[in-house]
């Protein structure tokens, strides 16, 4: 696991943008978007128009 990846679940709660999170984790913004989409699918929020940050 990359350094800092374990702290990712707390980052959306801080209302950081995808680019800001990517910079903090030294990852691409596409990777962060993919992780967010996977989280939305697991929570059953895909295609429902619910904000992930407000849901968490």
- Whether the model clears a pTM of 0.85, i.e. scores above it, the answer is no
Q: How far is CA 47 from the centre of its chain?
A: 16
Could you tell me which of 2, 3, 25, 16 has the C-alpha nearest to residue 56? 16
pLDDT tens, position by position, 29-53: 999 999 888 988 998 888 888 877 7
DSSP states along 39-55: HHHHTT-TTTT--HHHH
Q: What is the predicted pLDDT for the residue at 1?
A: 44
Q: Which residues of 5-28 are buried (b: 16+ CB within 10 A; e: fewer)?
A: eeebeebbeeebebeebbeebebe
Q: What is the predicted pLDDT for the residue at 26?
A: 92
């Amino acid at each position: 696991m990359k350094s800092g990846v374990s702290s990712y679940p707390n980052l959306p709660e801080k209302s950081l943008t995808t680019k800001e999170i990517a910079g903090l984790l030294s990852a691409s913004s596409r990777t962060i978007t993919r992780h967010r989409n996977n989280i939305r699918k697991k929570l059953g929020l895909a295609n429902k128009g619910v904000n992930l940050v407000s849901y968490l």
